[in-house]
Structure 1
Amino acid sequence: MIEAELIEKRTAKDYGLFKFKLKEKLKDPDAGQFVMLKSPDEPILAKPFSIYSYKNRKLTLFIKRVGRLTGKIFSSPIGEVFYVRGPYGIPYIKKIDRDKKYILIGGGSGVAPLNFFSELYPELVYKKLYGFKGRYIRELFEEQSSLVIEEESGKTVVDIFREVYSEELGILACGPIPMLKTLPPGSYVSLESVMGCGIGTCKSCAVKTKEGIKMVCKDGPLFRKEEIQWEWI
């Protein structure tokens, strides 16, 4: 595992942006991939986090506080050391149709891989729609135009998507399962899952598809919407 020193953090309620300086380089991380992160003084296993941004050995993660490890990250002072390994998963660019422009639809922490995609492949992005419930989330983002705040507009990110979508555009989405289920056939959906190993061995992130059981960590995280047997999720 690679030593990762926390060098910057910004939080707003249960969301935060955390920047780590890595002692070694990650091996060619790409959008849609994730790292496994562990605290050296916590007994729990490493947990997966999508890459929000990466440059010059500086790794940024967009994290929602949901459990013990994320609570530890939120409470940690600058200078705290963690460990990461990765990246894992198949990059989005290897699965999508590169001849299209995409609407990026993110919900909550699902914004993370979409941000990295927009940094690496801006020419493939038609519009970014990042949905949150509360306006407090604006404290974290310099770019405000992509935010869809339900508390302000009374509309969800899917409502806004339907207003701008046309069939010649592609859809690349990551977020809560109920959000992904509402998207049209042909959408590329990135699944978030509980993972143990991150390499397909432990089978904890199994998902049922029309071609059989696949692992989100090894075969995904990106799938075509129609591949997934949604009743099993």
Structure 2
Amino acid sequence: MSENIMLPHPHKIIDIIPETEDVYTFRVETSAKVKHGQFFQVSIPKIGEAPISVSCMGENWVELTIRKVGKLTNEIFNLKPGDKLFMRGPYGNSFPIEEFKGKHLVVIAGGTGVAPVRSFLKYFYENPDEIKSLHFIAGFRDEKNILFREDLKKFKTKFNTIYTLDRDKIEGFEVGLVTEHIKKIPFNSFEDYNVVIVGPHVMMHFAALECLKNGVTEEKIWVSFERRMSCGVGKCGHCKINEVYVCLEGPVFNYTKAKNLLD
């Protein structure tokens, strides 16, 4: 009898790391083989289910960075290490890491959009020889919404980083939206490169336009989004945009296709 792919399984929470007041990272036991950019459907029985990107992975564990925004996430935030979280997956495609190797990489992320890119940023931090250079722009609303502070400090030591806040002025951070800082990236000096953009839809839309304005061609840009994911396996249609099932063909898209999917 074949296994029910829609059936979530319990996984033990190993650790919980508060990132901000309403964003926690949950380290969860799993033997699943996960690629950078994939997501799990996370649930609590009789409460609900939501798609959550993998923000880090290791030997028999993944980290899921979750914002407290409603009934399900309120319940998840009541869990403690040792408790079980129900998951199914991983689902979706992944960032084309092999294609990034040996080239320059520009990563532009806003808010919780830093979570889906964090795992491959950590990979290139640990394997810097596999990439020519890495420019990382990360933007947050204000000081209290900064995520992954320790990682940001580490990335600064090996990557070309620009960290920015929409309104607060604090040491180590610029002021303004990420789009305002894209012109600082020396695209003209790169012979071969890729650009990854992850964040709210409106941010990805305008960041991509800003990159195009600075000479980046569409096929060099990659975006990731989880639009109203529900089943994760292309059955329910919640994530369908035009004829595209985001859960099956995404959440990572080349901009040549994504430009028709962004609102």
TM-score (norm: length of structure 2) = 0.76
Cα deviation digits, residues 47-90 of structure 1 (max 9, x gap): 11110111122211122222221222223233321111111111
User: Aligned partners of 2:182, 2:52: CA distance in 1, in Å?
Assistant: 25
Rate the CA distance shift 1:220–1:232 in 2: closer, same or farther, 3 A. Answer: closer
Rate the CA distance shift 1:90–1:81 in 2: closer, same or farther, 3 A. Answer: same
CA contact under 8 A between 2:40 and 2:52: conserved in structure 1? yes
Cα deviation digits, residues 97-150 of structure 1 (max 9, x gap): 655321111112211121112233453461222211111234742033454222
Rate the CA distance shift 1:49–1:133 in 2: closer, same or farther, 3 A. Answer: same
Is 2:221 aligned against 1:190?
no
Match in the other structure for 1:43: 47
Match in the other structure for 2:137: 129
Question: Could you list the runs of 5+ residues in structure 2 that have no partner in the other structure?
Answer: 1-7, 213-217
CA contact under 8 A between 2:47 and 2:72: conserved in structure 1? no
- How far did residue 95 of structure 1 move? 8.8
TM-score (norm: length of structure 1) = 0.85
User: Aligned partners of 1:76, 1:203: CA distance in 2, in Å?
Assistant: 31
Match in the other structure for 1:33: 38
Aligned residues: 224
User: Aligned partners of 1:50, 1:180: CA distance in 2, in Å?
Assistant: 17
Q: Secondary structure at the match of 2:36?
A: coil
Match in the other structure for 2:177: 156
Rate the CA distance shift 1:171–1:202 in 2: closer, same or farther, 3 A. Answer: same
Q: Given residue 43 of structure 1, which amino acid in structure 2 is its aligned partner? A: I
User: Aligned partners of 1:170, 1:196: CA distance in 2, in Å?
Assistant: 30
Match in the other structure for 1:3: 10
Which range is displaced more, 171-180 or 156-165? 156-165
CA contact under 8 A between 1:95 and 1:222: conserved in structure 2? no
Rate the CA distance shift 1:232–1:102 in 2: closer, same or farther, 3 A. Answer: closer
CA contact under 8 A between 2:54 and 2:116: conserved in structure 1? yes
User: Aligned partners of 1:139, 1:179: CA distance in 2, in Å?
Assistant: 17
Rate the CA distance shift 1:230–1:13 in 2: closer, same or farther, 3 A. Answer: farther
CA contact under 8 A between 2:51 and 2:226: conserved in structure 1? no
Rate the CA distance shift 1:9–1:94 in 2: closer, same or farther, 3 A. Answer: closer
User: Aligned partners of 1:96, 1:69: CA distance in 2, in Å?
Assistant: 37
User: Aligned partners of 1:197, 1:101: CA distance in 2, in Å?
Assistant: 36
Cα deviation digits, residues 10-48 of structure 1 (max 9, x gap): 1412222221233xx01x2110111111113x332x211
Q: How does 1:35-184 map to 2 (within 5 A)?
A: 35-40=40-45, 42-44=46-48, 46-93=49-96, 96=99, 98=101, 100-122=103-125, 123-124=130-131, 126-138=134-146, 140-142=148-150, 143-144=152-153, 145=156, 146=161, 147-150=163-166, 151-152=168-169, 153-167=174-188, 168=190, 169-182=193-206, 183=208, 184=212
Find the partner of 2:240 among 206, 228, 233. 206
Q: Given residue 49 of structure 1, which amino acid in structure 2 is its aligned partner? A: I
Identity of aligned residues (%): 24
User: Aligned partners of 1:94, 1:127: CA distance in 2, in Å?
Assistant: 15
Q: Given residue 176 of structure 2, which amino acid in structure 1 is its aligned partner? A: K
Cα deviation digits, residues 170-221 of structure 1 (max 9, x gap): 211111111111213331111221111101111111123xxxx111111011
Which range is displaced more, 174-183 or 131-140? 131-140
- How far did residue 161 of structure 1 move? 2.4
